Chains A and B, each alone.
Chain A
Amino acid sequence: MISNQRTINGWTVASVTAETVDGNNVAAFKAGLAPLLTPGARLILDLGAVEFMDSAALGSLLTASRTIEAGGGALRLASLTPPVRTLFELVRLHRVFEIMNDANEAAA
């Protein structure tokens, strides 16, 4: 579910490959994220392939954000599709997460 890891300017860029992230597969999503949440990690999560996320997915991203920030790292989100951006705006989390247009901008 999370692949295509690469590094840009010291940031790890990981792409979410699932079209849907919701309560049905959030456990796999969390399992894929877990190894990336290391102390001091600077992680960019590319969501360009994700067309639908629900509250379960949002909850897992909030948990990931808290974990990575507690370890002195940072999490940025990139390439949100319109439905996913709508989700973040509905719950006003676009003001909580650092959201960039794409991975290159996020790593700049």
Chain B
Amino acid sequence: MTLLAPPKHFEIAADGANLPAVRDWAQQVFGARFPSAPAAEAHAFVLALHEAVRNIIEHAYDGWGGVIQLEASEEGRALVIRLTHRGRPFDGVAMPPDFDGSRDRGLGLFLMDRGLTRVRYRTTPDGRQQVELVKELEEEEQ
């Protein structure tokens, strides 16, 4: 495992106001891992992480607050982001429908799918919830 130049660990209050900082961090860790990747690939990853964190804020914490820990690591050829929280368990399938014209749940999940190689939801041994986002690029030009 190689240390990334941007902070590997990042913690935020579960508040939508912190999403710009999440996007900045996502841009940095992606750029450090895949420095030659096209801008569109980087933006797709940033969008996916934005949607994943927003899901936690809205569905795990229901907007009442809490903390989300973000961790980045390089594992093999992949960039792995783990989002850990103490909110309600959920996954992309189990989330309740919430499309009311202001937010399209399907679009957000689709954006995560498009920007990432895979997504996993699990409970950690200490009982916290974790969303694992994995990004690999087909051809790396390092």
Contact = CB atoms under 8 A, between A and B. Distances in A.
B99 to A, nearest CB: 7
A30 interface: yes
B56 to A, nearest CB: 12
19 contacts: A22-B16, A22-B19, A23-B54, A23-B103, A26-B102, A26-B103, A27-B102, A54-B47, A54-B108, A55-B103, A55-B105, A55-B107, A55-B108, A55-B110, A59-B103, A59-B107, A63-B101, A87-B47, A90-B47
Q: How big is chain B's contact interface, by range?
A: 20 to 34
Nearest to B103: A56
A60 B100 CA distance: 10
Interface of A: 20, 22-24, 26-27, 30, 52, 54-56, 58-60, 62-63, 82-83, 86-87, 89-91
B23 interface: yes
A91 B111 contact: yes
A86 B23 CA distance: 15
Given A56-B103, A59-B102, A82 B39 contact: yes
Contacts of B17: 24
A54 B50 CA distance: 8
A24 B115 contact: no
Contacts of A87: 43, 47, 111
Nearest to A84: B43
B51 A90 contact: no
Contact of A90 (B19, B20, B39, B44): B44
Contact of B51 (A30, A55, A60, A82): A55
A23 B103 CA distance: 8
B19 A55 contact: no
A57 to B, nearest CB: 9
A55 to B, nearest CB: 4
A91 B103 contact: no
A-B pairs with the 3 shortest C-beta distances?
A59-B104, A55-B108, A55-B107
Contact of A62 (B44, B104, B105, B110): B104
A20 B102 contact: no
Contacts of B51: 54-55
